[in-house]
Amino acid sequence: MNRINPKDSQNFITSKKHIHEILSRTNINKQDIVIEIGSGRGHFTRELVKICDFITAVEIDPKFVSMTQKSINRSENVQVVHADILNYRFPKGNQPYKIYGNIPYNISTKIIKKIVFESAAEFCFLIVEEGFAKRLTDYRRALGLFLFPEVDIKVLRRIPRDYFHPKPKVDSVFIQLTRKESEIHSRDKDLYQHYFLVPCTQLLFGNLKNSKAK
């Protein structure tokens, strides 16, 4: 899998049956504003416009931006934004919104951190690699522990690799992030994030070096 360009690591679900199966696990409804991370060719966007009030689809690849726009050209409750989600500014203010996305595996950690610490979404529904989901829900590991004070994470269903085109080498899962009242005081958040952003390998190397010195 490409480790540099997220555009080259996308795997798409195209079956309308599978898309309906997945979206039926969400609580997205006609009153909701939704931000979609990575519209791809517009397969999920086309169905999301039918079940929510308004959707903003954020897509980095200009080719897919054009394909999504053509896919939903008769819908008035959608806008397609050509942007890198890692540079995208989530809405500020009191208007609630939810997030949906089939996110690139190679930048999953960066996207999750951005969602949790830069968005105000109460609910997020994401398709992620199965191993990554295990790390998210394991509070003995750094990433799970990092996110635990801000969100509850639940696996909604497993998604076989056969659902995707092209077919990846691993299975995926559909997860829900539910925001909760933060357990970290606002004055301590910068320090908290800084501590967990120190690479685990750096910490491990430091521990090994210290133990050898002894």
Catalytic annotation, pick one of 44, 64, 97, 105: 105
| In the chain, where the domains are located | 6-183, 184-214
Q: How confident is the model at residue 188 (pLDDT cuts 50, 70, 90)?
A: low
Nearest to 123 by CA among 105, 90, 91, 96: 96
Q: Is 42 a catalytic residue?
A: no
| DSSP, res 126 | E
pLDDT score for 139:
85
What token pair was written down for 3?
């480790």
pLDDT score for 123:
98
Please give the CATH architecture assigned to the domain spanning 6-183: 3-Layer(aba) Sandwich (3.40)
Burial of 9 (0-12, 13-18, 19+ CB in 10 A): middle
User: What are the φ/ψ torsions at residue 106 (nearest 5 degrees)?
Assistant: -75, -10
* Mean pLDDT value of segment 184-207: 51
Q: State pLDDT tens for residues 25-61.
A: 999 999 999 999 999 999 999 999 999 999 999 999 9
Q: State pLDDT tens for residues 76-119.
A: 999 999 999 999 999 988 899 999 999 998 999 999 999 999 99
Catalytic annotation, pick one of 11, 97, 102, 163: 102
